Structure 1
């Protein structure tokens, strides 16, 4: 069963480009990982960015995590985002 990782960012106006760049780098690394089905970023009309990664299964997502965190794990989201990142992880039904 496919597994989704969703991250909702609320970037401060002056950091929108930095947050989007980070999310696009995450997607770029995800695309090189085994088991990725799809990834992308939604720019909602309310100023949030929603990152979505769909994996073949939870194990594929877990195996990809070190490479993904090596790419974006040190990005200063506590400075860039207005609110803490809202993360959701679970099976797609």
Structure 2
């Protein structure tokens, strides 16, 4: 299994914009070969938003990532976010 985890730091006035963008990614990923689960989450203790995607393999993620993220390629993340997201690619040791 492979996990793509992105922790976003939206400006408070753009939280809804960023969340909508994350949902567009979720929609674009539907039906991708090897995708197990994908979703956007809101941290209850902060303003952070978390994107979590579980894949059968890193290869499956890599084969679909460009197409999936094309759905939000024109979104103004530099205006919506306090800083770039923290992105993790996780595998079990």
Tell me, yes or no, whether TM beats 0.5: yes
Q: Please name the residue that 1:69 is paired with.
A: 69
Q: Please name the residue that 1:25 is paired with.
A: 24
TM-score normalised according to structure 1 size: 0.91
Where does structure 2 lack aligned partners over 5 or more consecutive residues? none
Q: Cα RMSD between the aligned structures? A: 1.2
Question: Which runs of at least 4 in structure 1 moved beyond 3 Å after TM superposition?
Answer: none
Number of aligned residue pairs? 92
Distance 1:13 1:36 in 2: 31
Matches within 5 A, 1:1-93: 2-45=1-44, 46-92=46-92
Q: Which has the higher strand share?
A: 2
Q: Deviations over 1:14-70 (max 9, x none)?
A: 111110001011011112211100111110020110000110000100011121121
TM-score normalised according to structure 2 size: 0.91
Where does structure 1 lack aligned partners over 5 or more consecutive residues? none
